[in-house]
Amino acid sequence: MAPARKQAGSGHGDSSDGDLRLSPGTENYLLCLYKLWEDDENPTVTQLTDTLRQLPQTEGLGTSVPSVAGMIRRMQRQSLVDVGPDKRIRLTKQGLEGGEDIARRHRLAEWLVVKLLGMDLHQAHNEAHRLEHGMSQDFQEKLMERLGYPKRSPFGRPIPGTGEPKKPADALTLDAARPGETYVVDRVPEEDSQLLRFLVDSMLIPDQTITVAEATPYLGVMEVATQRDRVSIGYNVARQIVVRPHAGDAPASAE
């Protein structure tokens, strides 16, 4: 495990000489656990291992079950996580604060890549992993100002510290949406760049209006009409897309 570095952006102490920042590897674990916490999930070591394998290989994380278990034991000694009798990993108060810190940096880095540098959305997640670990508190504040104070990431996840809830009260996953009803996309998965290309090309991205044209759970596929196209979505993907009911009455159309 890499030595601790000076932390800026934890919300404690001076912005340039703050508390010790955790290693990049520990921050990556906290980011994964924080995202699972947002989804109301407390993973086992095996489940966390599967999630960590979705991170870019450039992050250099060991993703065998023994290596993940060893890291979780170290994080327990750092008072970042607890592992209960049910073998599920839960963030402590300190761990949750660390998760908020790295999630904020990561989601601001995604906006930096997309809005200020003009890179494609499907590139944002991986590029943000390269940028997130070095952001000071001063840099974050300047970046927030330049971006116009966004409350959610380009993929729809809330930026910690903005007051945005984990998800809207009326949100549901796309697999639970009713055929014939219109919805607004709230969040899309960000880890799979090929899937993101498909979602972007189909305009199945945050703040776009869609209509569930047909749902066939027994086949594991649904048809969705977007503002650009009518596309087939597997239920395994639909479960990762969060939507909310559309306030208006006009359905999305597709040529």
Least Cα distance to 33 among 111, 96, 93, 83 occurs for 96
C-alpha to C-alpha distance for 63 and 59, rounded to whole angstroms: 11
For residue 76, is pLDDT > 80? Answer: yes
Residue ranges with strand state E in the chain: 5-6, 20-21, 81-83, 89-91, 172-173, 182-187, 209-216, 221-225, 230-234, 242-245
CB 213 within 8 A of CB 223: yes
CA dihedral 109, 56, 15, 77 (to 10 degrees): 150
For residue 20, is pLDDT > 70? Answer: no
C-alpha to C-alpha distance for 149 and 159, rounded to whole angstroms: 10
CA 66 to chain centre: 25
* Model confidence band, residue 60 (pLDDT cutoffs 50, 70, 90): low
Domains of the chain, CATH where assigned: 5-107 (1.10.10.10), 172-245 (2.30.30.90)
b/e code 30-48 from CB counts within 10 Å (16+ = b): bbbbbbbbbeeebbebebb
Look at 48-57, 136-145, 154-163 and tell me which has the smallest mean pLDDT. 48-57
* Model confidence band, residue 116 (pLDDT cutoffs 50, 70, 90): very high
Encoded tokens for 174: 């796309």
Rounded to 5 degrees, φ, ψ at 176 are -95, 0
Q: pTM score > 0.85 for this model? A: no
Quick one: average pLDDT of 32-37? 94
CB 123 within 8 A of CB 154: no
CB 96 within 8 A of CB 161: no
What lies within 8 Å, CB to CB, of 114 at 6+ separation is: 120, 121, 124, 154
C-alpha to C-alpha distance for 225 and 43, rounded to whole angstroms: 34
Residue 249's pLDDT is: 47
Side-chain half-sphere CA neighbours of 48 within 13 A = 29
Rounded to 5 degrees, φ, ψ at 211 are -130, 135
CB 125 within 8 A of CB 191: yes
* Model confidence band, residue 33 (pLDDT cutoffs 50, 70, 90): very high
What are 184-243's pLDDT values in tens digits?
999 999 888 889 999 999 999 999 999 999 999 889 999 999 999 899 999 999 999 999
